Structure 1
Amino acid sequence: MPSTLKLIKSDLKRKQEIFRSDGADISFLRTCFTDGTSANILFRIASKCASYKLLAPAALLFQHINRVYNGCVIGVKAEFGPGFVIMHPIGVVINSKVKGGANITLESGVVMGDEKGKSPTLGNHIFIGTGAKIFGPITLGDNVKVGANAVVVKDVKSNKTALGIPAKSK
């Protein structure tokens, strides 16, 4: 597992790539001050603290700061690979048992929750649109897009787009 600093750097570089692909050629420094960046950094720090028993209270403190300052709650034991990007943190709620691969991008209001003790597992290169909800012991394959306000309660195979309530893969 890469160090926390390497993960943060990869998250920020990925966010900068997203802006560039949208036509905004912004500097790495400016990327550090865009919406959602502090939520990413606080999550990574809380996650690292949670991995050390003696620092567990600090993990909860960073999680609390993230909730108050950014309006999002991300479980300290949630796992995401490098390139994890929260574009807009308001309303993001992620259960501690969620596992995600590399290059996952979230918009505002995304909820990933538990059902009967089991949470979603996400592959690599995932985009989750504004207001999307993903619940239970489901798997999103690689290169999946989840549309705005979709409610995903079944597995989504790689290279598919999930749309609707309940979401259907296309």
Structure 2
Amino acid sequence: MLRRIREDIEAVLDRDPAARNWLEVILTYPGLHALWGYRIAHWLWNHKLRLVARLLSLWMRWFTGIEIHPAAVIGRKCFIDHGMGVVIGETCEIGDSVTIYQGVTLGGTGKETGKRHPTIGNHVLIATGAKVLGSIKVGDYVKIGAGSVVLKDVPPHSTVVGIPGRIVIQNGRRVKDDFNQINLPDPIAEDCDDLRKELQLLRKELEELRREMKGVLKHDITNL
């Protein structure tokens, strides 16, 4: 237990340039507090004290803003930076030396049963606001970009960005893809533009009908 605590502290010092010393890390890092609370809750869960484990998990959520289900499996040297809004689901499995930033969700996609949360490999970085959903596998040394939504398996040594997540770098080489991450389509704006064009066409047809009706009325009046 003491060795695991020391590894958790060293993980923070190694990966966060703002961390200056052990005491500061122990006292001021909610990600570290959440991990320690999770490890106790996980032990309670495995020893059939599941209500107590859930209550401890809930208390740590109130205290740190990080929700980790006690049944989840988290490896060594995990670092949750800042951490507010992080959610780690019940059947999630996380490898060693994983870095998770604030707002990350490792969750499910519905009301499935069984294994419904992702499996994260070793040395993975999951950036701010990323969502990894469903019973998928993320390989070792993967980087997931901020705000990405990952719904499919990701092979090792890849970089994933976008909604839905797409592999843009694999094994150090850029993947050829015509997907433009800057000029993304806006379906709502496109629908509004289509409606505006249709409205203009209807107005034009209505004006033509009005002119035709005026012509018919003038003709009838003249005949009278």
TM-score, scaled to structure 1: 0.89
Aligned to 2:103, what secondary structure does the other structure show? Answer: coil
**Structure (1/2) with the larger helix percentage:** 2
AA at the equivalent of 1:28: W
State the partner residue of 2:5.
8
Conserved? CA contact 2:57–2:70, under 8 Å: yes
Following the alignment from structure 1 to structure 2, what is the Cα–Cα distance between the partners of residues 7 and 80?
Answer: 12
AA at the equivalent of 2:79: V
Following the alignment from structure 2 to structure 1, what is the Cα–Cα distance between the partners of residues 87 and 125?
Answer: 16
List 4+ stretches of structure 1 deviating above 6 A.
Answer: none
Aligned to 2:160, what secondary structure does the other structure show? Answer: strand
**1:51-98 residue CA offsets vs partner (Å, 9 max, x unmatched):** 111x32321221011111111211111001101111112111111100
Between the two proteins, what is the percent identity of the paired residues?
36
State the partner residue of 2:208.
none
Structure 1 stretch 101-110 or stretch 56-65: which is displaced more? 56-65
**1:22-75 residue CA offsets vs partner (Å, 9 max, x unmatched):** 3x462222221233221121111111111111x323212210111111112111
The structure, 1 or 2, with the larger RCO (C-alpha pairs under 8 Å, 6+ apart) is: 1
Following the alignment from structure 1 to structure 2, what is the Cα–Cα distance between the partners of residues 104 and 81?
Answer: 8
Following the alignment from structure 1 to structure 2, what is the Cα–Cα distance between the partners of residues 169 and 29?
Answer: 40
Choose from 155, 161, 164 the match for 1:163.
Answer: 161
TM-score, scaled to structure 2: 0.68
Conserved? CA contact 1:97–1:114, under 8 Å: no
State the partner residue of 2:122.
124
Conserved? CA contact 1:8–1:44, under 8 Å: no
Conserved? CA contact 1:7–1:81, under 8 Å: no
Larger Rg: 2
RMSD: 1.5
1:5, distance to aligned residue in structure 2 (A): 4.0
Following the alignment from structure 2 to structure 1, what is the Cα–Cα distance between the partners of residues 121 and 51?
Answer: 30
Aligned to 1:30, what secondary structure does the other structure show? Answer: helix
2:76 paired with 1:82: yes
**1:146-168 residue CA offsets vs partner (Å, 9 max, x unmatched):** 11110000111111111010011
AA at the equivalent of 1:145: K
Where does the alignment leave 5 or more consecutive residues of structure 2 unmatched? 169-224
Aligned to 1:108, what secondary structure does the other structure show? Answer: coil
Where does the alignment leave 5 or more consecutive residues of structure 1 unmatched? none
Following the alignment from structure 1 to structure 2, what is the Cα–Cα distance between the partners of residues 9 and 59?
Answer: 23
